[in-house]
Amino acid sequence: MKALTQPTWISIAVLAAGTAACATAQAEYRCATPGLLTYGEVRACELARRETPHALIHYINRTKGTYGLYVNDYVSDADVERWEVARQKAQPASPNVTIASPGTKSGAKSD
């Protein structure tokens, strides 16, 4: 087996550094720089400010081929907290549950 030469090691190191840089670039919150956004990104930021994430998810899925957007790029921690509060408000109070007595059967007629 032939040992790798120095230029090969340098190429591998550069490739690894480039991959790491690309992975961290995807994790940025894009709505923080409104002047640098495209139309699709501006629309995604507007939808992220709504009460629920449904419109944002639908928009990103619908325009995936055109803009190549990712939900996590447009959602801040504040958005997630606001959506969670809205979801909890929308849930009804604990349902009323009627528990049958041990001696009765469901559907039995009483005389």
**What residues have CB less than 8 Å from 12, skipping those under 6 apart?**
4
Q: Are 31 and 76 in contact (CB under 8 A)?
A: yes
pLDDT in tens, 20-64: 444 444 457 899 888 899 999 999 999 999 888 999 999 999 999
Regarding predicted confidence, which is higher, 86 or 14?
Answer: 86
- For 78-95, what is the mean pLDDT? 84
Regarding predicted confidence, which is higher, 80 or 9?
Answer: 80
Regarding predicted confidence, which is higher, 93 or 26?
Answer: 93
Regarding predicted confidence, which is higher, 1 or 37?
Answer: 37
Judging by beta carbons within 10 Å of its beta carbon (0-12, 13-18, 19+), is residue 55 exposed, middle or buried? middle
Looking at 1-111, list the stretches that DSSP marks H as alpha helix, in order from N- to C-terminal side: 6-25, 39-48, 54-62, 64-67, 77-90
